[in-house]
Chains A and B, each alone.
Chain A
Amino acid sequence: MPEKTVTDERLLELLASEFTFEQGFALLVSAYKQRLYWHIRRIVITHEDADDALQNTFVKVYKGIAHFEGKSKLFTWMYRIATNEALSLVQQRSKHAAGTLDGNNSAALLKADPWFEGNETQLLLLNAIAGLPEKQRLVFNLRYYDEMPYEEISELLGTSVGALKASFHHAAKKIEQSIRAI
């Protein structure tokens, strides 16, 4: 879970000065690395890819914080970068694997990942989630695992709360059916 002990206002104050930038960035990484890691991990599945995507996310934040305009929350802005990094990595991997991430190849990835220690039921659940369309999968993960309020997901994905609720309910029904079918 997040280890957030510093406010975004304080972080931005530190990041706005050349003298305190490094201190601010270190605090920012410390505050958000775990939340972003789990968000990425559920998209890319393996720890190795998640680590790569998370580091790239913070590299982009490091380079691009000068362009942050405060139109959204700092975390929302980073979440978008992290999501793009994770999806981009999945697409690159899909090109090499000649396919997309679905229940079949996610199962293979999970079994090959030394950092998956789940049982068969957990494997089934992750496979079912991986089989969802991309946006539905994001909504499901944000709500199911991160317990993010719909209002925040709405800000993050630019989708209405009503549409998000419908998407989550639809995804939950599909996953349940998928698990019960086996």
Chain B
Amino acid sequence: MSKNTGQELEELSPLLRQMREKGDGLEVPHDYFDDFDKNLKQRLTERGVRRHALRQIPVAVKRRIWPGLLVIAASLALVLGAVRHFNTGNEPAELAVLELSADDITAYITENAADFEPEQLAVLEETPDAGNQSPAPEAGKATPEKEEIPVEAVEEIIDEMTDEELAELF
């Protein structure tokens, strides 16, 4: 590292070092630098100067910026991956039940009737048969593989079931 200017002048010319400390007497109008931006903008407008953004960030600068961007991208990927991973094993039970047919559910309830409260069974009996409410398939059209049952009915049943029952069901 080379000497600073003061040290260098001290050895080279003490007279010039002294004179430097007193300044050069050059002044600028008050507020010149504050007003400069406004005046420059005016000149750019008057001359109709067109500008173009940098075509690309210079390579030397990119090298300094990219590591930061990579860290951000990696963090984002990690968070998204974690969310996806933990969600896989905890899908809402209601969504899984909607994939079951009415027959599956009826069979399950019949087999485990002893585990249900009378009120729960009464609610089930009051619920219209979903299969009967569905319009009859038109001739020539394929019959759906699964009968549709009202979502509300399924939700009610699910709400009343214990975690163990749900675990056994699935």
Contact = CB atoms under 8 A, between A and B. Distances in A.
Contacts of B47: 59
A111 B19 CA distance: 19
Nearest to A119: B25
Contact of A47 (B9, B24, B28): B28
A13 B65 contact: yes
Interface string B3-45: 0110011001101100110111111110011001101100110
A93 B20 CA distance: 28
Interface centre among B27, B37, B51, B56 (most CB of A within 10 A): B51
A66 B49 contact: no
Interface string A4-36: 000011001101111001000110011001100
Contacts of B26: 38, 41-42, 47, 115-116, 118, 126
A126 B23 CA distance: 11
Given A47-B28, A115-B26, A179 B65 contact: no
Interface of B: 1-2, 4-5, 8-9, 12-13, 15-16, 19-20, 22-29, 32-33, 36-37, 39-40, 43-44, 47, 49-61, 64-65
Given A34-B33, A68-B54, A69-B58, A29 B40 contact: yes
Contacts of B43: 55, 59
B49 A179 contact: no
Interface in A110-156: 115-119, 121-123, 125-126, 143-145, 147, 149-151
Interface stretch (A81-89, A96-104, A168-176): A168-176
B24 A30 contact: no
Contacts, number: 138
Contacts of A30: 37
Nearest to B59: A70
Interface residues of A, number: 60
A77 to B, nearest CB: 10
A18 B33 contact: no
A12 B19 CA distance: 39
Contacts of B25: 116-119, 122-123, 126
A19 to B, nearest CB: 9
A58 B40 contact: yes
A75 interface: no
A70 B61 contact: yes
B33 A144 contact: no
